[in-house]
Amino acid sequence: MSDSIIKMKGVTKEFPGVKALKSVDLNIYKGKIMALLGENGAGKSTLMKILTGVYEKTTGEIILNGKPVQIKNTREAQNMGIAIIHQELNLISNLSIGENIFLGREPVNSFGKIEWSKLYKAAKLIMDRLGITEKPETLVGELSIGKQQMVEIAKALSLNAQVIVMDEPTGALTDKETDSLFRVIRELKAEGRSIVYISHRLKEIFQICDDVTILRDGQFIAEYPINDVNEDKIIELMVGRKLSEQYPRINCQLGENLLEVKNLTNAYVKDISFSIRSGEIVGLAGLMGSGRTELARTIYGVYGKDKGEIIVQGKAVDIKSPGQAIRNGISYVSEDRKGNGVVLGLNIKENISLSVLQKLSGIFGIIDKKKEENAALDSIQGMSIKTSGVKQLVKNLSGGNQQKVSLSKSLMTGPKILILDEPTRGVDVGAKKEIYDIINQFKQAGMSIIMISSEIPEILGMSDRIMVMHEGRISGCIEREQADQERIMRLAVGQREVTI
Amino acid sequence: MKKALKEFLIKNKSFVVLVIFCIIVSIVNERFFTVSNILNILRQTSINSVIAVGMTFVILTGGIDLSVGSILAISGAVVAAMVSQGNNAFIAVIAALAIGAALGAFNGLIISKGKIQPFIATLGVMTLVRGYTLVFTDGKPISAGSSEAASAFSNIGAGYFLGIPLPIYIMIIVFGLAYYILKHTRTGRYVYSLGCNEEATIYSGINTDRIKILVYTISGLLAALAGIIITARLSSAQPQAGTGYELDAIAAVVLGGTSLAGGSGGIFGTVIGALIIGVLNNSLNLMDVSSYYQLLLKGLVILVAVLLDRKQKK
């Protein structure tokens, strides 16, 4: 195992007030795929940002082909043959595939005019290798996420990258797209290129990786050949303790109907009717684009409704904005944490209190800072949010802790009906368990909970009842005892089945 | 204590710049650091300060207000016209403030309900209102006259209390109120939240349209207040008054470290920013620098200050 192309040794990174990495080692072997695993906030991204020149390390060394190197910026990293494909793709959607691949390195003639035919010919060559069948002139915005990912890989290849870092590459891909991504990864490997593969999906790690490095809390925990470990072992190493029951489902006495939706219809959803009782968790399953999030946001007043009724505790309510939804006891925790779940630029306290400042302020809207701080401290304790204090900016928290802030913000409004949209997306294994426990507390407190999730095991593990959506409609409703993965999938793809 | 001071200085670089700047100028010119000159600077700064406070609210939400100079002119013209016709000065002032607030609210409505970019919306209103001011005044100055009401009115701009010009008191009150609102009230919190992430603010159940309308209303109101002060000081309203004032106000806000992207910054910075511009104008005057060079130097100072700030933030 001496043939490592890159060795990161004792890498430490300090941010003001935080030690993000404490003496971390990482070996990247030639022609091998290294999985980099850890909970959110374990330091994977920071480590990769150091490798690709986005951050400068505080101490430690990076050895490339046996020689110590300094990587000061992203361009230097590129020149050394290191490329990264980010979770959020960095493509420009109104430029063509070819233009994106060669962005900033367009072939030009002596007058500075771009030589388009040369550019597109070169692009075509790389695309053929990756099995991208679109024309190089196609706009990137017209491609599926999976294809866009391939374009990112094409870009990395055009740089002749020897080391390619892939951060959660399959997060938004369909199974078919994942398969073709894996095919390409294997080909890259066969060419002798090295890959660092970051993913939360352990199954994939075992399918494709050769070795695995595990980080926890900014520290190096272990490196193993993949064949020497199993899933349980990896999870144990990631969270530092044994995982008992993954889904802590509890049974609750069901109470009155808290929410009833009748014939709800708008541009996104068609003729939706259902009801949910106090102490009940209804899982809302379906494929991407089936209208789950849109249904939630319609109930929450983000989107207007054309037809239908929303009835809270037996009373028809008129909800035209999230503010009205909150006043009627409905709260929504968004799947898009950074986009509309939390305000990254505000601190924890300001986020948690944002929806309820009305209650925390007196005449002239003067905020009672003491009350506000106490409310935030209660949430931090109740949710065990890991933070240096109520004044820490939310953008400096890990994904799991941001999610807890988002949950706290919702909970502050004292909701009777809580809609959770992908509550554990991008959250690591340990924090997932904590979030499930929190959800169960809500359930025990008698709330009605609608939980949207793309992870069927999660739906099966937590729900009392499962609703499945397909193309804006509810395609079926299954009691937990009768539910299994296959039935849910069948309903999700729109197959009819005998009603129960 | 020492640490707190150090942190304060690092966080408020513009304050350090202002102090150093003042020290240099007072060494170069002994007329600078005298009570009468300091009061002079503060009085001159008051106009820009009052406008810049409104601009701070707007910029914190991620917007911009180009119409303040025009609103200043129309409210000045209205107040002068009313006083000259023998109306009570107090009523005239209230009317002018109301017009400023209404025009500001109009900006806010176009931006929030009409979903027009603030730059374009306020550019339109700026031109519209300037045009109306010219129509209203027929392009000529309006004198407030020499009635009893007029002399009472002129006190707002030219009067003194305990030896200090009244506009300075107005400026301090406006700063104080604005600081308090931004720091300690719901409205202030919503302004920052809206500037950081509009969508998340909406999802938190907050009526962001209302906040937008409010900040432009505040900006319009304060522009009108500035117009009243200028008109009172000169005892007459100029149809071209306030031309280009929006840029001085934006410069003060940005010099004070408030981000044009919204969400970060505050009133304290704007105080310093306005003072830097005021001291700069005053010192160049004291040193008999021609007004052409003054503009040139002002532009340079703004660019350098903003670049320095940017570098440190990175």
Q: pLDDT digits over B249-267, tens only?
A: 999 999 888 888 889 899 9
State whether residue B140 sits within 8 Å of chain A by CB: no
Give the pLDDT band (50/70/90) at residue B113: very high
Q: Sign (positive/negative) of CA torsion A343, A346, A349, A354?
A: negative
Q: In this predicted model, what pLDDT tens digit does every residue of A328-337 receive, in sequence order?
A: 999 999 988 8
Task: Determine, yes or no, domain membership for A90.
Answer: yes
Q: How far is the C-alpha of A281 from the C-alpha of A466, rounded, in Å? A: 9
% residues pLDDT > 90 (chain A) = 50
Residues A184 and A318 both lie in one domain: no
Q: In this predicted model, what pLDDT tens digit does every residue of B205-260 receive, in sequence order?
A: 999 999 999 999 999 999 999 999 999 999 999 999 999 999 999 999 998 888 88
Indicate yes or no: CB of B205 within 8 angstroms of CB of A355.
Answer: yes
Residues A227 and A281 both lie in one domain: no
Number of domains in chain A: 2
Tell me the C-alpha to C-alpha distance, in Å, between residue B142 and each of A165, B78, B115, B133, B168: 70, 9, 37, 11, 25
Q: Kindly list the residues from chain B whose CB atom is less than 8 angstroms away from the CB atom of residue A366.
A: 184-185
Range scoring the smallest mean pLDDT among A37-41, A138-142, A213-217: A37-41
Q: Looking at residue B312, what is its pLDDT?
A: 55
Indicate yes or no: CB of A355 within 8 angstroms of CB of B202.
Answer: no
Asked if residue A207 has pLDDT above 50, the reply is: yes
Tell me the nearest-neighbour CA distance from B229 into chain A, angstroms. Answer: 27
Q: Looking at residue B314, what is its pLDDT?
A: 45
Q: Looking at residue A498, what is its pLDDT?
A: 47
Render chain B in DSSP notation, one character per residue: -HHHHHHHHHHTHHHHHHHHHHHHHHHH-TTTTSHHHHHHHHHHHHHHHHHHHHHHHHHHTT-----HHHHHHHHHHHHHHHHHTT--HHHHHHHHHHHHHHHHHHHHHHHHTS---HHHHHHHHHHHHHHHHHHHHTTS-EE--SSHHHHHHHHHHH-EETTEEHHHHHHHHHHHHHHHHHHHBHHHHHHHHHHH-HHHHHHTT--HHHHHHHHHHHHHHHHHHHHHHHHHHHTEE-TTTTTTHHHHHHHHHHHTT--TTSSS--HHHHHHHHHHHHHHHHHHHHTT--HHHHHHHHHHHHHHHHHHHHHHH-
Are A453 and A283 contacting, i.e. CB atoms less than 8 angstroms apart? yes
Six token digits for residue A101: 């691949």
Ramachandran area for residue B219 (φ above 0: left; ψ -120 to 50: alpha; else beta): alpha
Tell me the nearest-neighbour CA distance from B249 into chain A, angstroms. Answer: 25
Query: What is the mean pLDDT of the segment spanning A107-118?
Result: 89
Which residue, chain included where needed, has tokens 């016209």? B81
Q: Looking at residue A6, what is its pLDDT?
A: 92
Domain limits, chain B: 36-313
Tell me the nearest-neighbour CA distance from B279 into chain A, angstroms. Answer: 33
Q: How far is the C-alpha of A143 from the C-alpha of A129, rounded, in Å? A: 18
| CATH class of domain segment(s) B36-313 | mainly alpha
Query: What is the mean pLDDT of the segment spanning B299-314?
Result: 71
Indicate yes or no: CB of B200 within 8 angstroms of CB of A364.
Answer: no
Residues A14 and A163 both lie in one domain: yes
Within A66-174, residue ranges assigned H as helices are 74-79, 97-101, 116-130, 145-158
Residues A316 and A171 both lie in one domain: no
Indicate yes or no: CB of A322 within 8 angstroms of CB of B201.
Answer: no
Residue of chain A minimizing CA distance to B203: A322
Pick among B112, B186, B187, B204 to test the A interface (most A CBs inside 10 A): B204
Q: In this predicted model, what pLDDT tens digit does every residue of A373-394 receive, in sequence order?
A: 999 999 999 888 888 889 999 9
> Which residues of B, range 250-289, sit inside 8 Å of A by Cβ?
263-264
Start-to-end Cα distance in chain A: 58
Question: DSSP secondary-structure letter at A427?
Answer: -
Q: Looking at residue A18, what is its pLDDT?
A: 67
Asked if residue A241 has pLDDT above 60, the reply is: no
Question: Which of A186, A212, A239 corresponds to the end of one domain?
Answer: A239
Q: Kindly list the residues from chain B whose CB atom is less than 8 angstroms away from the CB atom of residue A344.
A: 196-197
Q: Kindly list the residues from chain B whose CB atom is less than 8 angstroms away from the CB atom of residue A343.
A: 193, 196-197, 200-201, 204
State whether residue B31 sits within 8 Å of chain A by CB: no
Which residue, chain included where needed, has tokens 């806010």? B108
Asked if residue A493 has pLDDT above 80, the reply is: no
Residues A192 and A267 both lie in one domain: no
Q: What is the overall mean pLDDT for chain A?
A: 88
For residue B199, give the nearest of A340, A345, A364 by CB distance.
Answer: A340
Q: Looking at residue B310, what is its pLDDT?
A: 67
Q: Looking at residue A492, what is its pLDDT?
A: 81
Q: How many other CB atoms are found less than 10 A from the CB of residue A67?
A: 7
Which residue, chain included where needed, has tokens 């004291």? B286
Give the pLDDT band (50/70/90) at residue B311: low
Q: Looking at residue B74, what is its pLDDT?
A: 97
Are B50 and B174 contacting, i.e. CB atoms less than 8 angstroms apart? yes
For residue A322, give the nearest of B197, B202, B264 by CB distance.
Answer: B202
Q: Which of B77, B39, B75, B9 is nearest to B219 (CA)?
A: B75
Residues A97 and A169 both lie in one domain: yes
Q: Looking at residue A471, what is its pLDDT?
A: 84
Q: Give the number of beta-carbon pairs within 8 Å between A and B.
A: 77
Pick among B203, B210, B314 to test the A interface (most A CBs inside 10 A): B203
Residues A112 and A212 both lie in one domain: yes
Residues A306 and A198 both lie in one domain: no
Query: What is the mean pLDDT of the segment spanning B36-55?
Result: 94
Residues A322 and A267 both lie in one domain: yes
Q: Which of A225, A237, A215 is nearest to A32 (CA)?
A: A225
Query: What is the mean pLDDT of the segment spanning A66-92?
Result: 87
Query: What is the mean pLDDT of the segment spanning A181-192?
Result: 90
Q: What is the overall mean pLDDT for chain B?
A: 91
Q: Looking at residue A468, what is its pLDDT?
A: 92
Q: Sign (positive/negative) of CA torsion A200, A201, A203, A207?
A: negative
Give the pLDDT band (50/70/90) at residue A244: very low
Asked if residue A274 has pLDDT above 90, the reply is: yes
Pick among A54, A326, A340, A352 to test the B interface (most B CBs inside 10 A): A340
Q: What CATH number does residue A71 fall under?
A: 3.40.50.300
For residue B200, give the nearest of A326, A327, A342 by CB distance.
Answer: A342
Q: Kindly list the residues from chain A whose CB atom is less than 8 angstroms away from the CB atom of residue B186.
A: 357-358, 361, 365, 367
Task: Determine, yes or no, domain membership for A88.
Answer: yes
Q: In this predicted model, what pLDDT tens digit does every residue of A412-447 receive, in sequence order?
A: 999 999 999 999 887 777 788 889 999 999 999 999
Residues A164 and A24 both lie in one domain: yes
Asked if residue A240 has pLDDT above 60, the reply is: yes
Q: In this predicted model, what pLDDT tens digit does every residue of A275-323 receive, in sequence order?
A: 999 999 999 998 777 889 999 999 999 999 999 999 999 999 999 999 9
Which residue, chain included where needed, has tokens 């920013």? B273
CA dihedral in degrees (A212, A215, A221, A226; nearest 10)?
-10
Q: How far is the C-alpha of A199 from the C-alpha of B246, rounded, in Å? A: 51
Task: Determine, yes or no, domain membership for A193.
Answer: yes
Residues A222 and A263 both lie in one domain: no
Q: Edge-to-edge strand order for the sheet containing A315-317? A: A272-277, A257-265, A307-312, A315-317
Asked if residue A243 has pLDDT above 50, the reply is: no
Six token digits for residue A108: 């030009």
**Residue A187: CA atoms inside 13 Å, Cβ hemisphere, count?**
13
Query: What is the mean pLDDT of the segment spanning B34-44?
Result: 92
Q: Looking at residue A247, what is its pLDDT?
A: 79
Q: Kindly list the residues from chain B whose CB atom is less than 8 angstroms away from the CB atom of residue A296.
A: none
Task: Determine, yes or no, domain membership for A314.
Answer: yes
Q: How many other CB atoms are found less than 10 A from the CB of residue A88?
A: 10
Cβ contacts of B175 within 8 Å, gap of 6 or more:
B49, B53, B267, B271
More confident position, B245 or A202: B245
Start-to-end Cα distance in chain B: 27
Question: Which of A190, A208, A239 corresponds to the end of one domain?
Answer: A239
Are B281 and B44 contacting, i.e. CB atoms less than 8 angstroms apart? yes
Q: In this predicted model, what pLDDT tens digit does every residue of B140-167 receive, in sequence order?
A: 999 888 888 888 889 898 888 998 999 9
3-state secondary structure of A398: coil
Quote the domain boundaries for residue A234.
4-239
State whether residue B312 sits within 8 Å of chain A by CB: no
Q: Which of A248, A236, A245 is nearest to A38 (CA)?
A: A236
Indicate yes or no: CB of A322 within 8 angstroms of CB of B205.
Answer: yes
Task: Determine, yes or no, domain membership for A368.
Answer: no
Q: How far is the C-alpha of A222 from the C-alpha of A225, rounded, in Å? A: 10
Q: How far is the C-alpha of A116 from the C-alpha of B215, rounded, in Å? A: 49
B169 burial class (0-12, 13-18, 19+ CB within 10 angstroms)?
Answer: middle
Q: Sign (positive/negative) of CA torsion B108, B113, B114, B117?
A: positive
Six token digits for residue B232: 């009172």
Residues A213 and A281 both lie in one domain: no
Are A81 and A94 contacting, i.e. CB atoms less than 8 angstroms apart? no
Interface of A with B (CB under 8 A): 300, 302, 321-323, 325-327, 332, 334, 339-346, 350, 354-355, 357-358, 361, 364-367, 369, 409, 413
Question: Which of A211, A239, A267 corresponds to the end of one domain?
Answer: A239
